[in-house]
C-alpha cells in the first residue's frame, strides 16, 4: 500500500499485491480535491514500480465499465482489456472489465 498526502491530509492511495510473478492492483483512490492533477497516475506508476521490484511480470485489475476516468488512466498506462466479470460490483450492480499490463514491455 502506498499513500499520497498533501499538507498532512491523505489524498490518495494504491493497494496491490504480487504472487508468483503476477501482480494485482486491488484499489486505487484519489480524493475529489486531488483529482485531475496527475495524482492518480503518479500513484499508479509508483505501485507498478513496487510490484515490478517484487517480481511481477504482469499486472491485472478490475474496473467498473462506467468508470470512464479510471479506464482512460489505465489505458494511458498501457493496460488492455482481457475479460469481463459479470455482476462483479454491487451498489449499484455492474460488470467489471479485467485489464492486463505486461511489465516487460513498459518503458
| Phi, psi dihedral angles at 14 (to 5 degrees) | -135, 135
Residue-wise pLDDT for 27-67, tens only, equals: 999 998 888 889 999 999 999 999 999 999 999 999 999 99
Residue 82's domain comprises 2-105
CB atoms within 10 A of CB 48: 22
pLDDT score for 35: 85
Is the pLDDT at 107 greater than 70, yes or no?
no
Is the pLDDT at 106 greater than 60, yes or no?
no
The whole model's pTM is what?
Answer: 0.90
Look at the chain and report how many structural domains it folds into.
1
Residues known to be catalytic = 62, 74
Residue-wise pLDDT for 60-96, tens only, equals: 999 999 999 999 999 999 999 999 999 999 999 999 9
Write the CATH number for 51. 3.40.630.30
Strand duo 2-6 + 58-64: pairing: unpaired
Residue-wise pLDDT for 16-26, tens only, equals: 999 999 999 99
pLDDT score for 99: 98
For 35, residues 6+ apart whose C-beta sits below 8 A from its C-beta are: 69
Amino acid at each position: 500500500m502506498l499513500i499520497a498526502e498533501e499538507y498532512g491530509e491523505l489524498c490518495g492511495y494504491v493497494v496491490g499485491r504480487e504472487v508468483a510473478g503476477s501482480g494485482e492492483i486491488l484499489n486505487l483512490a484519489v480524493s475529489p480535491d486531488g483529482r485531475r492533477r496527475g495524482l492518480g497516475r503518479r500513484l499508479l506508476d509508483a505501485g507498478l514500480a513496487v510490484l515490478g521490484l517484487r517480481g511481477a511480470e504482469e499486472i491485472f485489475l478490475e474496473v467498473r465499465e462506467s468508470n470512464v476516468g479510471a479506464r482512460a488512466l489505465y489505458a494511458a498506462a498501457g493496460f488492455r482489456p482481457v475479460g469481463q466479470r459479470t455482476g462483479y460490483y454491487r451498489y449499484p450492480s455492474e460488470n467489471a472489465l479485467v485489464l492486463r499490463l505486461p511489465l516487460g514491455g513498459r518503458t
